[in-house]
Amino acid sequence: MEALQPGGDVVVANIHLPFDDKHLATGTWTIECHGGRVSRVLPFHLDDTRSAESSKSEKLEGRCTIIDGAGGLLLPSFCHSHIHLDKCFILDRCGDLVKGDFEEAMRVTKVAKADFSKQRDDLSVGFTCLEVAQRLKKDYLGLCDVQIAIFAQVPLFDSIDDEQPGENFILLKDAATRHSVSVIGSAPYVEPSHEQAKANIKLVFDIADDQRVDRIDFHLDYNLHANSEPLIYEVISEVKRRYETGKPDSNDNNGSSENFGPNSSFGKRLCPRITVGHATRLQIFSAERWRELAEAIHGLPITFVGLPQSDIYMQGREFLNEPLGAPRGTLRVPYLAKEYGIEVAMSVNNVENAFTPQGSLDPLSLCTFGVAIFQAATPEDIRTLVQSVTLTSKRAIGPPPSTVSPSVQAEGPSDIPADLVPRVGDPADFVILHERKSVRSAVLNPPFDRKTIKGGKLVAERSSMRWSLETHKTVQIFIVAECSKSLLVQPQDNSGADFVILHGRKSVQSVARNPPFDRQTIKDGRLVAERSSTRRIAA
C-alpha cells in the first residue's frame, strides 16, 4: 500500500453518496481532497480514474493519489463511542456461562483477568492499562484516532457504610493528575447505594474541574427497574450548577475550557462534553417524562450512547418468564430522534466476553440489528441509524485533535461533518463500502469488502474472493483431495459427506457468537464452494 506524501492531493472517484435526493443518490461522484480535507465534490467522469482499464484500485500520480471506489457507497468514517478494550475477546477465559446475568459476568471477568500482565486501572493493577492504552494510541497514530478515558468501572466507595470514597477514588484522581488525559468517567451504578452513586457523580465532576478535563463519560441507569431513581437528573443538576451551559464550540480548541476555571475571573467554565452510556432505565419512561428530559438537556452537550447488542443481552432477565419475555432494554435510537429530537449514538461496548458474548466489532452491524429491534426500515430511520455510528458517535465523544495541515486548520472548518454527504471543508475521513450503492442496501446487508480513508490516506482495506465448482473445476479437484485427506470424511461412494468448514473458529460457541467470513463448503465429498478474505493495513 503506497503512502500518501504530506500535502498531496487525493481523488476518490466513482462512488455513490448518501444523498436524500434519489436522483443524486443514483449518480456516481468524485471527491477531491487536499491537505486532509474535502476540496471539491463533483459528478464522476470516467477520466477521473485516470486509467479505467487498470486493475489497481489505488495508484500514485506525482503528488496525487487516485482511489477508485468502483461504484461503492462512501460514508463518513465509523466511530466507537463506548468500548472497553480491556474486556474484549476474553470469553474463552470465562468458562461456560450459567446464568448469564450481570453478577456472573462481573465474577467470571474478574477471574479471567486475574492473570493478565496488563490490565485496566483499579486498586490492584495501578496504571498498567493506561500505559498500554497510551502505547496503542501512539502505535496507531495516523490509522485511527484513539481517545483514552480514565475510567472507574469499580465502586469509588469501599462499603455501603462509608461516607468518604476509598482507595479507588484516590487512584482515579491520581491518574487524572499524573497523566495528560482528555476524558474521565465512572460507572456510578456499581456503587453500594444510590446515595453513593450520586456522590460518585459529584466526585468525577470535581476531578474534571480540578484538572480542566473537557470530556466526561458516565455509564448510568443500567437497569429496567421502575422503582430506581434515574441518575441522569443528578448529572443534569450538576451541569447546571457548575457550568456555562452553551455547547462548546468544536472549532474553539475542540471545546476546551482551559480559560474558564471554577474560580477564574471569567466566571463558570464552559460545560465539558458529556457522554452517557447505557441509560436503559430511560426505556420505561412515559412520553411525558421523555418530553421533560428532552427539555432539560436541550442546549447541553450531553449525548446518550446505546449499546444494543450488549444491553439486549444483559437487561430484562427478571422478565424471562413473562408471556413476551424480556423487553427491548436499549435506547430506541430512531424513535427518540423522531419523537423528541434526542440524538443517540450506538456502540458495541465490547464483544466476546460475559457481558456481550456475541457480535462483531463492526459498527455497521449495529445498524442492521437496529432495523429489527427498533422496527425501523424507513429511509429516515436508516439514515438515523447510520448517523448513530458515524456523526452522532463523533459528536458524543468530541472531535479529535486536528490532524490536517495547519494552513487548513486556520480556516476553521469543523472536524465533525454536518451531514452524511461530504461537503467542502470536511475532513477526508471515509469508509467505502463496495458492492453497495445506497444507504439502505449497506444497512440491511453490510458488505465485507471495504476501504478506509483517514486524512486523505488509504489506511486499511479488506477484500474477499469467492468461487464455486462450476467456475473452478480444475482447481476443485486438487483442493478436494487435500481437504478430504485432512478431514478423513470422504466415503467411498462420495455421497453423504456434506460439510461447511468455518475458518478462524474452534468451537460451536464461537461460531454462534460471531460467524466467520472465511469458509469452505463440501458436498458429497467434494469442495464445491469457498470464500476467503484478505486484510491490509497501512504501515
Give pLDDT tens digits for 343-359.
Answer: 999 999 988 998 999 99
**Sole residue written with cell 472549532:** 251
pLDDT at 310: 95
User: Which regions of 108-214 does DSSP assign to beta strands (E)?
Assistant: 149-152, 183-186
pLDDT at 406: 44
pLDDT at 258: 41
Mean pLDDT of the chain: 84
CA separation for the pair 502, 483 (Å, rounded): 13
**Sole residue written with cell 419523537:** 339
For residue 155, pLDDT beyond 50: yes
What is the band of 216 on the pLDDT scale with cuts at 50, 70, 90? Answer: very high
User: Which regions of 307-357 does DSSP assign to beta strands (E)?
Assistant: 344-346
Region 241-245: mean pLDDT is 89
What is the band of 468 on the pLDDT scale with cuts at 50, 70, 90? Answer: confident
What is the band of 86 on the pLDDT scale with cuts at 50, 70, 90? Answer: confident
Domains by residue range for the chain, with CATH:
9-78+400-463 (2.30.40.10), 85-389 (3.20.20.140), 472-537 (no CATH)
Q: Which of 211, 197, 90, 91 is nearest to 152 (CA)?
A: 197
Region 450-469: mean pLDDT is 92
Give pLDDT tens digits for 93-121.
Answer: 888 899 989 889 888 888 887 765 544 44
pLDDT at 478: 35
pLDDT at 401: 59
Strands 215-220 and 183-186: parallel
Contact 10, 32 (CB under 8 A): yes
CA separation for the pair 148, 130 (Å, rounded): 8
Map residue 202 onto helix, strand or coil: helix
Map residue 105 onto helix, strand or coil: helix
One-letter amino acid of 237? S
Share of the chain above pLDDT 70, in %: 81
pLDDT at 349: 93
CA separation for the pair 6, 488 (Å, rounded): 55
CA separation for the pair 492, 355 (Å, rounded): 47
For residue 22, pLDDT beyond 70: yes
- Alpha-carbon dihedral 165, 167, 171, 174, rounded to 10 degrees: 70
